[in-house]
Amino acid sequence: MSSVNKNLSDVEGSNIPDAKTFKFGVVYSEWNYEITNALKDGAVKTLVQNGALSENIIIKEVPGSFELTLGAQYLAEYSNVDAIICLGCVIQGETRHFDFICDAVAKGITDLNIKYNIPVIFGVLTPNNQQQAIDRAGGKHGNKGDEAAVTAIKMLGLKNSFKSSKSVGFSR
């Protein structure tokens, strides 16, 4: 999905459930900290704006985006969270390092969704350069952290819509 003409934070009017009863994990990378810290702040602000209690938001840092998967796994195992938001920024370089990190973290996060049956959100920017990252971390294209938070809440709303059906039992 191209975001060239889209402000990623423009989620007004979309149907976002109340996040008051949910516990969230947020894991973000130290690499490109100026960007990832802004993504984290956007995500936390959006969770709170939609009803989440600050004490129900567990925030953890990992060294780089490659470590987001294991950081998220620790949150799922040890913090009993309902959803996890993974935030990173991998800037395209001259080597294939970019591809390896992006592929690994995308696959790792996808697998965690299935393994734990909770939403684990892929909030990793993969820009060509620093300016594109700034544009998506509170700049002219909004804040991808906001979007990741809204996605987490919406997926929990979807999960709850199944839980309320009496014929289905949930272990998590």
**Chain residues that interact with ligand DLZ, rule: CB under 6 A:** 29, 31-32, 63-67, 88-91, 93, 97, 101
Q: Is 84 helix (H, G, I), strand (E, B) or coil?
A: strand
Count other C-beta atoms under 10 Å from residue 7's C-beta.
16
* Identity of the residue, 23 or 41, whose beta carbon is nearer to ligand DLZ in the bound complex: 41
What stretch of H or E contains 169?
Answer: none
- Kindly name the residue from 6, 20, 97, 163 that is annotated as catalytic: 97
Q: What residue number has its CB nearest to ligand DLZ?
A: 64
- Which of 58, 60, 74, 64 lies closest to 30, judged by CA? 64
* DSSP, res 58: E
**Tokens 């402000």 belong to residue:** 7
Please state the closest distance from residue 68 (CB atom) to ligand DLZ, in A: 8
97 is catalytic: yes
* Identity of the residue, 23 or 30, whose beta carbon is nearer to ligand DLZ in the bound complex: 30
Please state the closest distance from residue 43 (CB atom) to ligand DLZ, in A: 16
Please state the closest distance from residue 64 (CB atom) to ligand DLZ, in A: 2
CA distance 99 to 122: 16
Q: Is 11 helix (H, G, I), strand (E, B) or coil?
A: coil
* Identity of the residue, 21 or 130, whose beta carbon is nearer to ligand DLZ in the bound complex: 130
Catalytic residues: 97
